[in-house]
């Protein structure tokens, strides 16, 4: 089956962090992009020599199926110095278009999940799919009382992607959603909105044991830096998790 391509027109962009942009598009062919939170799109373009290439971006969109055609398509783009995709996105003006395909992937919450808790673990732009999952998580909290822990790694507070949104979600659901930002290089200043009791200093894999992973009740999602994904995968297996209880997606920066 041939992959269907479609144009995406840039509506707006803003900086999430010094080297990460949040881009909002609409499909420029009048069709909706119906997707499951956790899926990704591919952006197709060419290198300077004309060689075709592509990059994958998880959808950050907080999806509302009622919106119909023309709904937003949101992604987070990491800027890589000298990167071809970075040049494409940095040079894209509002109203400009890119060529995309998708959605793809199975890094999603599954309808048959009957677990008591989700462990969501991410670094950097690996947190993007979890933003998209928030409405589904809210429904799962409401309908079956599921609990959720989000461990999110960043080097410093300026690089904590969507941190305000996850913190607000945690405040709305204090008994069910715990947000643990882990800063590897610099902690937030006292009195900062990012400073709270669940802030940790170090890497996410150092604090996995703190949330007491339980193979009898948890499903874990790992997304982001491959070293983090591998370390957490091995740690979870060591505590009795079966492979089917661990859903993984690795993010590899490419130029």
* Same domain as 122, residue 195: yes
Compute the distance between CA of residue 61 and CA of residue 110 in angstroms, rounded to an integer. Answer: 18
In the predicted structure, residue 4 carries a pLDDT above the cut 90 = no
Does residue 23 form part of some domain? yes
For residues 152 and 243, state if they share a domain.
Answer: yes
Same domain for 167 and 79, yes or no, is no
CATH code of the domain containing 74: 2.40.30.10
Q: Are 185 and 100 contained in the same domain?
A: no
Residues 137 and 66 in one domain: no
Q: Which residue has the higher pLDDT, 100 or 201?
A: 100
∠42-43-46 over CA atoms, to 5°? 130
pLDDT of residue 69: 46
Rounded Cα distance, 234 and 147, in Å:
23
Instruction: Report CA dihedral (159, 89, 2, 50) to the nearest 10 degrees.
Output: -130
Provide mean pLDDT across the span 69-75. Answer: 77
Q: What is the mean pLDDT of residues 18-43?
A: 93
**In the prediction, which pLDDT does 70 show?**
47
Q: Are residues 137 and 244 in the same domain?
A: yes
The pLDDT of 192-204, averaged and rounded, is: 78
**Which residue has better confidence, 1 or 15?**
15
Q: Are residues 233 and 133 in the same domain?
A: yes
Lowest-pLDDT range of 28-32, 156-160, 175-179, 245-249: 28-32
Phi, psi of 68 (to 5 degrees): 70, -160
Domain that holds residue 198: 117-250
Spatial CA neighbour of 253 closest among 121, 81, 100:
81
Neighbours of 6 (CB within 10 A): 17
In a domain, 233, yes or no: yes
């Amino acid at each position: 089956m041939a992959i269907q391509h479609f144009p995406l027109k840039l509506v707006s962009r803003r900086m999430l962090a010094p080297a990460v942009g949040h881009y909002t598009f609409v499909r420029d062919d009048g069709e909706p992009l119906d997707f499951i939170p956790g899926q990704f799109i591919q952006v197709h373009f060419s290198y300077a020599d004309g060689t075709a290439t592509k990059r994958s971006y998880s959808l950050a969109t907080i999806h509302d199926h009622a919106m119909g055609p023309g709904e937003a398509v949101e992604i987070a783009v990491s800027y890589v110095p000298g990167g071809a995709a970075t040049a494409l996105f940095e040079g894209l003006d509002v109203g400009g278009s890119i060529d995309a395909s998708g959605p793809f992937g199975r890094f999603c919450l599954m309808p048959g999940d009957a677990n008591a808790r989700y462990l969501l673990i991410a670094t950097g732009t690996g947190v993007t799919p979890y933003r998209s999952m928030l409405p589904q998580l809210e429904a799962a909290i409401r309908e079956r009382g599921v609990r959720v822990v989000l461990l999110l790694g960043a080097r410093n507070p300026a690089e904590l992607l969507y941190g305000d949104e996850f913190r607000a979600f945690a405040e709305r659901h204090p008994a069910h959603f715990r947000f643990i930002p882990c800063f590897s290089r610099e902690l937030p200043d006292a009195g900062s909105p990012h400073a709270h009791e669940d802030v940790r200093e170090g890497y996410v894999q150092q604090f996995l044991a703190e949330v007491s992973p339980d193979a009898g009740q948890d499903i874990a999602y790992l997304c982001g830096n491959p070293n983090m994904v591998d370390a957490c995968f091995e740690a979870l297996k060591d505590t009795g998790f079966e492979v089917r209880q661990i859903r993984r997606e690795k993010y590899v920066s490419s130029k």
